[in-house]
Chains A and B, each alone.
Chain A
Amino acid sequence: MDIALETEALDVRYGQIQAVRSINLVVPKACITALLGANGAGKTSTVMAIAGVVPNVSGKVSIFGQDMTGATPDTIIRAGVAITPEGRRIFASLSVEENLILAGAATTKSTTSAERRAMMMERFPILGERRRQLAGLLSGGEQQMLAVARALMSGPRLILMDEPSLGLAPQMVDTMFAIIEELRAEGISILLVEQNASLALEIADHAVVLANGKVAAAGTPSEIVGQDILKSAYLAA
């Protein structure tokens, strides 16, 4: 099995609080790996630690076989990782197009960046229509699309998606999950953090359940679905 991302004994601390305890996680290439668990289970902390923006991390993180323990986010992003964070965090006071321009400029040449921008406008026509609008004026679903398009500007091979369906209308959730499956079909590996476990298990190839900062279960969706461990993981917090 080809591996995109692997963590060994990952610990994350915020001062006295240990958010993540000794997590071993494997994200295979070109697969969707769901990371499930209740609020406060440590999902976002895990993602942010992998992305390199959490200061107190111990354990090992390797990305496409390279050791990335303690690396800064710019190194990690250049290794082929992109992130769509919880709450989308698009730059509200910039236009849609500016959000994409700065994301492209961070990692690629201007010609590549312009090509990718044109591709994004084609892939997400609503972003093309609203390119000059302030990103903060987009609907929640459009903002999530912008977050995905922005992540794709670096040409990633692995995307960390944190709660992409949060706060979206049901129809938009379906659209978003269809996009995630498309990305997998293009060979991109995905770590999908979701509160909506049943939905995530429908499209995931593998799943890991966190409870209280630890791995409570891992396996294929059919192994996980309906298990007591999933229910208790959500009730535990």
Chain B
Amino acid sequence: MDIWLQQFINALSLGGIYAMLALGLAIVFSIARLINFAHGEIMTFGGYGIFLSMALDFPILVTLTVGIAAAVVMALMMERVAFRAMRGASIISLLITSLAVSEILKVLFQNFISPRPVPISFPSLWSGSYQIGEMTIGVAPTVSIIVTISALGGLTFFLRHTATGMSMRAAAEDFEMLRLLGVRANRIIAVSFALSGLLAGIAAVIWTAQRGSVDPMMGTFPVLKAFIATVLGGLGSLNGAVLGGFVVGILEVLAQAFLLDSLAPYRDAIVLSIVIILLLIRPDGLLPARDGTRS
């Protein structure tokens, strides 16, 4: 019982990170039709923002804000510098553009910051734990679950109850019609990138707090998992991305916790096999986008 609950908390914590990253990818895809391979570098840049603020001895709240803001700024800059010029291009051209952005940023991180991990030390409170009855629960996964749920809840509120949020849902359905109502395309696309940056920034905070370091490849692997999550959930579907993120996270933690030691090296292969089986059963994903025209 005890181990199950602890693993459940770990799974929610990891799944939440994947869910936020996957949701960021899905928001940008549903509006700009862009599969952003440089999403991981947005997260990495957020991590470097945290590193820099800590090096400058900023208070912890300022540090976290700088980290998240760095990710938002990076996402907006990517849109402005690289993707705006490519607007209306085919999905393949956009995809290759984003790959180029990703590679360029990785090289810049290596050359101008460091090719090796740089340390980040969160306050010791973070790595502590607390007791509920018999159980020992870590502060880090608890906080990460709370933060994730607040972020997802806040975003849901934004999309449901603000005019800009409604415009974003409408943009996913029929962007040209939205423009015919006088909505500025640049504004909606910028908001979608800012939101994806915000979520990646929050993910960066939780991720660096758990790993204790940042390196140029930091964002690559979690975002890879997030890609799998968006496809599993149904490409272009926001709810699907969140669900897919949690499913991938839970599968990974289960595999980690309960696989025999001899099978441990195959953990990712086993998780991906399960994902492939799920996709064979539901080729459009677990919660496909409502609009039938989504590819």
Contact = CB atoms under 8 A, between A and B. Distances in A.
Interface of A: 51, 53, 72-74, 77-78, 83, 85, 89, 91-94, 98-99, 101-107, 110, 150, 153-154
A89 B179 CA distance: 12
A103 B156 CA distance: 20
B173 A93 contact: yes
A106 B167 contact: yes
Contact of A77 (B170, B180, B185, B291): B180
A60 B209 CA distance: 59
Contacts of B170: 91, 94, 99, 102
A53 B180 contact: yes
B103 interface: no
B164 A105 contact: yes
9 contacts: A53-B176, A53-B180, A74-B182, A77-B180, A85-B180, A92-B290, A105-B164, A106-B178, A106-B181
Nearest to B164: A105
B107 interface: no
B169 interface: yes
A103 B181 contact: yes
Indicate the member of A72, A106, A110 with the most B CB atoms within 10 Å: A106
Contacts of B291: 92-93
Interface string B155-180: 00000000110110110011011111
A83 B177 CA distance: 9
A74 B169 contact: no
B183 interface: yes
A73 B167 CA distance: 16
Contact of B166 (A74, A77, A98, A150): A98
A107 B176 contact: no
Interface string B124-167: 00000000000000000000000000000000000000011011
Contacts of A83: 180
Contacts of A74: 179, 182-185
Contacts of B184: 72, 74
Nearest to A75: B182
A105 B191 CA distance: 15
Contacts of B164: 105
- Tell me the interface secondary structure of chain B in the complex: helix
Contacts of A104: 163
B180 A102 contact: no
Interface of B: 163-164, 166-167, 169-170, 173-174, 176-185, 290-291
B163 A102 contact: yes
B207 to A, nearest CB: 32
B182 A101 contact: no
Nearest to B182: A77
A102 B182 contact: no
A126 B204 CA distance: 48
B182 A89 contact: no
Contacts of A101: 163, 166
B181 A150 contact: yes
Contacts of A154: 181-182
A85 B150 CA distance: 39
B250 to A, nearest CB: 28
Closest 8 CB pairs of A and B: A77-B182, A105-B163, A106-B182, A102-B166, A91-B170, A106-B183, A89-B177, A73-B179
A91 B182 contact: no
A73 B183 CA distance: 8
Contacts of A98: 166, 169
A101 B183 CA distance: 12
A22 B179 CA distance: 26
A226 B174 CA distance: 39
A25 to B, nearest CB: 19
B169 A91 contact: yes
B167 A53 contact: no
A73 B177 contact: no
Contacts of A103: 181
Given A89-B177, A105-B163, 8 more contacts: A73-B182, A85-B177, A85-B180, A91-B169, A91-B170, A91-B174, A93-B290, A105-B167
Contact of A94 (B166, B183, B185): B166
B86 to A, nearest CB: 15
A236 B217 CA distance: 63
Contacts of A85: 177, 180
